[in-house]
Amino acid sequence: MNSPRSCPRYNQRNPHMRARTSSGRWLGWLTSFMLVTVVLPPSASASSLADTARQLAHKIAAASGPGAFALEFSNHSSLDEKSVREVRSALESQLHVEGVHITRVEQATGTVEVVLSESLRNYVWTAVVAIGSDEKKVALVSLPRPPTDAAFTPAMPIVLKTALLFSEQQWMLDAALVDMPGGSRLIVLGGDAVSIYRRQGASPSANSTGRWELETSLPIVHLRAFPRDLRGRLLLRRDHLFDAYLPGTICRSTPNAVAPLTLACTDSDDPWPLTTDDSVRAFYASTRNFFTGALSPGIGKISNVPPFYAAAALARPNYTLWAFAAVDGSLHLVDGVTDQAIRGANSNSKLGSDLAAVHSTCGSGTQLLVSENGDGLSGISDHDTLRAFEIPDRDPVAASAAAEFDGQITALWPDSGGNGAAAIVRRKDTGWYEAYRVSVTCGN
């Protein structure tokens, strides 16, 4: 393993990921189906929504032919409930006129799955018509969204709080706080071991590095050589203390009832969980420093996204919006139907490769933490920052002031509860690594 002071990077993560302009993009899963696009005049009035719904119904009927079909209908867009009801009513009425009758699944000869989605500029609605087990056809319509005149403003000011948890000279990949019998523990994932520290003293604060004392160190045994730009992640578990994911290697601690604590590591190319509930996983390129873009399972209809460094899930009332920091410097927003690539210049920030979603009582309730690079003369970040973003209209909007760190952010992972994130920083002056807990609060 290379010295942590040299910290070579096998595949340098993009220094700038700027986000303001966009272009929607459909992935390859649609290419084997029938695609029909109807673009209507730029108005999202009730009449234009109904007209577009009738256009979609006409395309569905052309693909399905007359018969009885079960209808699955979901809204992944910003349309309100009243508008969604109008769209569905117009769609079902026109289907009836076209000879397509909506019935229960057990009485149907096929299914029609309609999803209302959107990009930054357009509403995008799709219908997947399935007849039998093999035959599928897809219809697509879109209409421009009305312009949004009002700028997004959080209901209360959003402030990022940072607390220093720990610092050390050795390579640090991730850190996690956990409550255990006998007091809190800090689990630190390094390049060759997982170290567990016990907090000393009665103070509830963990802001001082002197409050932690090494309790045990568990070596990471692996047969494959790790890449030079090493990344890793800790995930706390219910039936055992933690899992550790590293390139081509997965380590698991012994079950909770078994003592003493040990670590079992195996060579594995299994996908890494992107969320603490394991709902979506992604395959990591074990010889590089990024995810390949293959998802398991997929997000709705999308099973592949561009290669990326980090991903975050943002809960919406009817679906989950995923954000991916792609290796080409773009930000991709994926809702299960559309993959919207956001590119271009933003004079206010230089978005980096790390991001994480954090829950709070502010704004929409979930903020996207994104690293921003502060470039030094050597090309290495001197003072990286974190900033909270909201995505109210498929367009990231800064919602907080930047929290500055004395060095380069090398990792950013959400904690197990989703209410904070662990930021790993390599100091520019000393080369030491620092672990911070970052949370979002409302206030001045």
List pLDDT tens digits, range 355-365. 999 999 988 88
Q: How far apart are CA 252 and CA 303, in angstroms?
A: 27
Peptide bond into 15 cis (omega under 30): no
Q: What is the pLDDT of residue 17?
A: 43
The DSSP string of 91-121 is: HHHHHHHTTEEE--GGG-SEEEEEEEEE-SS
Q: Which residue has the higher pLDDT, 352 or 76?
A: 76
Q: What is the pLDDT of residue 86?
A: 94
- Whole-Å CA distances, 189 to 63, 224, 274: 53, 18, 17
Longest dimension (CA), the chain: 75
Task: Give the model's confidence band at 375: pLDDT under 50 very low, under 70 low, under 90 confident, else very high.
Answer: low
Q: What one-letter code names the amino acid at 213?
A: E
Q: How far apart are CA 316 and CA 368, in angstroms?
A: 13
Q: Which residue has the higher pLDDT, 41 or 237?
A: 237
Q: What is the pLDDT of residue 12?
A: 56
Q: How far apart are CA 306 and CA 297, in angstroms?
A: 16
Q: Which two tokens stand for residue 81?
A: 């409930």
Q: What is the pLDDT of residue 404?
A: 94
Query: Residue 263 in contact with residue 253, Cβ under 8 Å?
Result: yes
Q: What is the pLDDT of residue 30?
A: 31
The whole-model pTM stands at 0.78
Q: What one-letter code names the amino acid at 313?
A: A
Query: Residue 358 in contact with residue 421, Cβ under 8 Å?
Result: yes
Query: Residue 119 in contact with residue 394, Cβ under 8 Å?
Result: yes
Query: Residue 331 in contact with residue 324, Cβ under 8 Å?
Result: yes
The DSSP string of 145-158 is: PPP--SPP--SS-E
Q: How far apart are CA 313 and CA 369, in angstroms?
A: 11
Structure-token match 């117009």, residue found: 90
Q: What is the pLDDT of residue 159?
A: 92
What percent of the chain has pLDDT above 90? Answer: 59
Q: What is the pLDDT of residue 411?
A: 96
Q: How far apart are CA 217 and CA 191, in angstroms?
A: 12
* Cβ neighbours around 359 below 10 Å, total: 17
312 CB contacts (<8 Å, ≥6 apart)?
A: 322, 323, 355, 356, 357, 368, 414
- Whole-Å CA distances, 158 to 60, 153, 366, 440: 45, 10, 11, 7
Q: What is the pLDDT of residue 70?
A: 95
Helical pair 81-97 and 46-64, crossing angle rounded to 10 deg? 40
Query: Residue 284 in contact with residue 271, Cβ under 8 Å?
Result: yes
Is residue 2 predicted with pLDDT exceeding 80?
no
Average pLDDT, the chain: 83
Query: Residue 391 in contact with residue 334, Cβ under 8 Å?
Result: no
Query: Residue 20 in contact with residue 346, Cβ under 8 Å?
Result: yes
Structure-token match 């076209």, residue found: 98
Q: What is the pLDDT of residue 383?
A: 87
Q: How far apart are CA 368 and CA 387, in angstroms?
A: 8
pLDDT tens string 328-356: 989 999 999 889 998 753 434 466 789 99
Nearest to 417 by CA among 401, 440, 433: 440
Q: What angle do CA 428, 434, 437 make, to 5 degrees?
A: 130
- Strand 21-25 and strand 100-102: the pairing is unpaired
Q: What one-letter code names the amino acid at 342?
A: I
Is residue 117 predicted with pLDDT exceeding 80?
yes
Is residue 53 predicted with pLDDT exceeding 90?
yes
Q: How far apart are CA 210 and CA 205, in angstroms?
A: 11
pLDDT tens string 173-231: 999 999 887 788 999 999 999 999 998 764 444 444 457 999 999 999 999 999 999 99
What's 29's DSSP letter?
G
- Whole-Å CA distances, 383 to 10, 158, 429: 22, 21, 11
Of 247-261, 286-300, 369-383, 400-414, the poorest mean pLDDT is in 369-383
* Cβ neighbours around 431 below 10 Å, total: 14
Is residue 5 predicted with pLDDT exceeding 70?
no
Beta strand ranges found along 300-381 (DSSP E): 302-304, 308-315, 320-326, 331-334, 339-343, 351-359, 366-372
Number of residues that this document lists for the chain: 444
